[in-house]
Amino acid sequence: MAKIPINIKKGTVQKTSSEIIIGIDLGTTNSLVAYVREGNPVAVRGQKGKHTLVPSIVHFNADNEVLVGDAAKAKLIADPANTIYSVKRLMGKSYADIKDKHQYFGYQILDDDTESLVKIRVKDKYYTPISLSAEILKELKNRIEEELDAPVSKAVITVPAYFNDAQRQATRDAGKLAGLDVLRIINEPTAASLAYGLGQQGSQTIAVYDLGGGTFDISILRIEDGIFEVLSTHGDTFLGGDDFDKAILDYWLEKNGIDPINKDNTSNQGLRLKAEQAKKWLSQNDNFQESEQDYVFSLSKNKFEELIRPLVEKTLDACRLALKDAKLEQKDLDHIVMVGGSTRVPLVKRAVSDFFGKPVFDQLDPDEVVALGAAIQADVLAGNQKDVLLLDITPLSLGIETMGGLMDTIIPRNSKVPTKVGRQYTTSIDGQKNLKIAVYQGERDLVEHNRKLGEFILRNIPPMPAGIPKIEVHFIINADGILKVRAKELRSGLEQTIDIKPTYGISEEDMARMLLDSIQHAAEDMNTRALLEARNEAKYLLLSADKFLSQNAGILSETEKATTLSLAKNLKAMAAEADKDAINKAIQELNEFTAPLAHRSMDKTILEAMKGKKV
């Protein structure tokens, strides 16, 4: 055979090393931007400010101008209704998701439709968490453009490892709205590990302990040949440095005999800031003392540690659970990475180090470490570093609804992403034209107990007998953890795809509850599943028995017909009851009786075909 010369034109490689892609840590309390300068990641300081942190706060002033960061934080006490903080907590969430925590927010969250994404009301305008996050991102973009004196347009943004599709998508949308092309969404613990250069030296298992202002996350990662895999995550979305401040505030109020009814008064907000100041002071000193009017606000380091010890213990409980989920023990971990401003508290460092039985990684600034890691990943994407692959896991199983309301899991919980999984389905009715693909997330056997993420209908399937169409459903999760579902009828080539952008997200608490439910109801679910499967089979068999009788009347004796009918009648009756064994028995009886008849019919068909007759 003659060789055919292959003539593929090689594309010219674009030199990208001059292009700067930025890394952004979009935090609940503080955000910051970093980039790689001459091979080293650096966090960007504001022109006027000396600090790299931009408080994640947006304020709308009387002229409806937008202030972001320190300027907005300064308005928090005087004008709380127009000052939005912690907007990250609302990303990808519906009112139903957050209504229990409603009082936590000092601004107005719209309570209209419980299913759709929340909106925030400021004066007479409504804002989405996406557009408010975009304001923070714009501020960061401005910061770095000022520093570099050049426009930037590409970014890597970090999110907590437990963020679901909706939350990741919302973060991506916020980036877009801020004029950024978001190349990747990466997990905060992964970014922190990258900043510590973990990933270069063979395989390692590490824990990333992240205690910020209002949230705590513990993640256990395995790094192998530059591939990061999240083994487990745990945490508390309402636990952080703010709670340390609150503990100090409460202590001072009590000690000074200040009426606790006034506790949440704005006048106490000033005292809350003083509490934070004391906390930070005590990270390096043994005593804090300040007097104001007739009061003395003092706090020793010992007293502070006593106040926050229960909170620190709570974080260790979560660490225990994360280890358990990853099926690991303390000794299996190679490194512990400390992230978040609150890990500056000496007690936190000590407790974590004692818990894991080794010194912790705390050499990098815990406020900056996530952004620095994001900048490294950005630099990798810019083509300036050897590629580092990032792997993630799905926190909950993903699947579709099949007959009888059963959940058919396509991507099991804790699967690595990016991933693509396909499975074939068919129709259950002759000539069925439409097939509904309903996508669910969760661990229970019945979809009604899981969370619906979306649905679509594959329309205009060419008419075919039941069971003939081959419908392939693909679940594709990309590197950002965003799910795409595609259904294709293989015989006709008919195809339809949706991007799953769930209308509302899922909190970590919900996730924990869903997992717990699935364990508690496992036995019950198994029985229900067995019953539904038996019923489905009965339904199929009854349909085909019916079809068989009408198509083969000529070759069946009256007794054969009568017996088939009576067995079918019995099966129908059994299927209406809740005894799966009885249904299976009736299925077997009908099957056993009709099998030889079906063979006879088939033989006859073949015989007729051989005689040249039309089948």
Q: What is the CA radius of gyration of the chain?
A: 30
Nearest CB to ligand ADP, comparing residues 280 and 470: 280
Q: H/E/C letters for each residue in 376-416?
A: HHHHHHCCCCCCCCECEECCCCEEEEEHHHEEEEEECCCCE
187 binds ligand ADP (CB under 6 A): no
Task: Assess contact for 246 and 272: CB atoms under 8 A.
Answer: yes
Say how far apart CA 57 and CA 135 lie, in whole Å: 9
Strand partners, 157: 24, 185
Task: Assess contact for 380 and 387: CB atoms under 8 A.
Answer: yes
Chain positions 359 to 418 lying near ligand ADP, rule: CB under 6 A, are 367
129 binds ligand ADP (CB under 6 A): no
Taking the complex as a whole, the smallest distance from the CB of residue 97 to ligand ADP amounts, in Å, to 19
Choose among Mg ion, ligand ADP, none what residue 427 binds, the Cβ cut-off being 5 to 8 Å by kind: none
23, 175, 340, 505: which one contacts ligand ADP (CB under 6 A)?
340
| Residue 210 annotated as catalytic | yes
Query: CB under 6 A: which stretch of 212-220, 287-295, 373-381, 553-561 binds ligand ADP?
Result: 212-220
69, 106, 241, 502: which one contacts ligand ADP (CB under 6 A)?
241
Look up residue 470 and give its DSSP letter: -
Size of the site for ligand ADP (CB under 6 A): 21
Choose among Mg ion, ligand ADP, none what residue 342 binds, the Cβ cut-off being 5 to 8 Å by kind: ligand ADP
242, 443, 480, 533: which one contacts ligand ADP (CB under 6 A)?
242
Amino acid at position 612, single letter: G
Task: Assess contact for 427 and 461: CB atoms under 8 A.
Answer: yes
30 binds ligand ADP (CB under 6 A): yes
Cβ neighbors of 382 (< 8 A, separation 6 or more) are 16, 17, 19, 20, 21, 154
Whose CA is closest to 480, among 179, 93, 134, 190? 190
Choose among ligand ADP, Mg ion, none what residue 367 binds, the Cβ cut-off being 5 to 8 Å by kind: ligand ADP
Nearest CB to ligand ADP, comparing residues 344 and 449: 344
- DSSP strand pairing (392-393 vs 335-339): unpaired
Whose CA is closest to 258, among 273, 247, 271? 271
Taking the complex as a whole, the smallest distance from the CB of residue 201 to ligand ADP amounts, in Å, to 27
Choose among Mg ion, ligand ADP, none what residue 217 binds, the Cβ cut-off being 5 to 8 Å by kind: none
Whose CA is closest to 190, among 55, 20, 23, 19? 23
Nearest CB to ligand ADP, comparing residues 342 and 427: 342
Burial of 572 from C-beta contacts in 10 A (0-12 / 13-18 / 19+): middle
Say how far apart CA 58 and CA 373 lie, in whole Å: 25
Active-site residue, selected from the candidate residues 135, 173, 188, 217 = 188
342 binds ligand ADP (CB under 6 A): yes
Place of tokens 């005894």: 579
235 binds ligand ADP (CB under 6 A): no
Nearest CB to ligand ADP, comparing residues 214 and 399: 214
| Residue 188 annotated as catalytic | yes
Look up residue 446 and give its DSSP letter: B
- DSSP strand pairing (204-211 vs 181-187): unpaired
Taking the complex as a whole, the smallest distance from the CB of residue 344 to ligand ADP amounts, in Å, to 4
Size of the site for Mg ion (CB under 5 A): 2
Per-residue contact string for residues 163-202; x = within reach of Mg ion by CB under 5 A: ----------------------------------------
Query: CB under 6 A: which stretch of 121-129, 274-282, 285-293, 429-437 binds ligand ADP?
Result: 274-282
Q: H/E/C letters for each residue in 66-131?
A: EEECHHHHCCCCCCHHHEEECHHHHCCCEHHHHHHHHHHCCCEECCCCCCCECCEEECCEEECHHH
Look up residue 506 and give its DSSP letter: -
213 binds ligand ADP (CB under 6 A): yes
Choose among ligand ADP, Mg ion, none what residue 46 binds, the Cβ cut-off being 5 to 8 Å by kind: none
Q: Which two tokens stand for residue 604?
A: 């006859």
Whose CA is closest to 209, among 224, 189, 227? 189
Nearest CB to ligand ADP, comparing residues 30 and 564: 30
Query: CB under 6 A: which stretch of 102-110, 159-167, 234-242, 514-522 binds ligand ADP?
Result: 234-242
Taking the complex as a whole, the smallest distance from the CB of residue 511 to ligand ADP amounts, in Å, to 19
212 binds Mg ion (CB under 5 A): yes
Query: CB under 6 A: which stretch of 24-32, 92-100, 260-268, 410-418 binds ligand ADP?
Result: 24-32
Whose CA is closest to 24, among 364, 373, 362, 339? 373
Query: CB under 6 A: which stretch of 137-145, 209-217, 423-431, 482-490 binds ligand ADP?
Result: 209-217
Active-site residue, selected from the candidate residues 97, 173, 210, 525 = 210
| Residue 499 annotated as catalytic | no
Task: Assess contact for 7 and 140: CB atoms under 8 A.
Answer: no
Q: Which two tokens stand for residue 303?
A: 């007293």
131, 205, 266, 283: which one contacts ligand ADP (CB under 6 A)?
283
213 binds Mg ion (CB under 5 A): no
The phi and psi torsions of 338 (rounded to 5 degrees) equal: -100, 130
23, 27, 41, 92: which one contacts Mg ion (CB under 5 A)?
27
341 binds ligand ADP (CB under 6 A): yes
240 binds Mg ion (CB under 5 A): no
Query: CB under 6 A: which stretch of 106-114, 228-236, 339-347, 420-428 binds ligand ADP?
Result: 339-347
Query: CB under 5 A: which stretch of 19-27, 46-54, 163-171, 401-409 binds Mg ion?
Result: 19-27
212 binds ligand ADP (CB under 6 A): yes
Query: CB under 6 A: which stretch of 9-17, 72-80, 213-221, 557-565 binds ligand ADP?
Result: 213-221
Taking the complex as a whole, the smallest distance from the CB of residue 165 to Mg ion amounts, in Å, to 21
Q: Which two tokens stand for residue 142?
A: 């401005």
| Residue 420 annotated as catalytic | no
Task: Assess contact for 346 and 12: CB atoms under 8 A.
Answer: no
Say how far apart CA 499 and CA 240 lie, in whole Å: 34
28, 94, 237, 409: which one contacts ligand ADP (CB under 6 A)?
28
How many CB atoms sit inside 10 A of residue 275's CB?
A: 26
Taking the complex as a whole, the smallest distance from the CB of residue 57 to Mg ion amounts, in Å, to 15
Cα–Cα distances (Å) from 329 to 298, 357, 414, 520, in that order, read: 40, 11, 19, 25
Binding site for ligand ADP (CB under 6 A): 27-30, 212-215, 240-242, 276, 279-280, 283, 340-342, 344-345, 367
**Residues that are catalytic:** 25, 88, 188, 210
Binding site for Mg ion (CB under 5 A): 27, 212
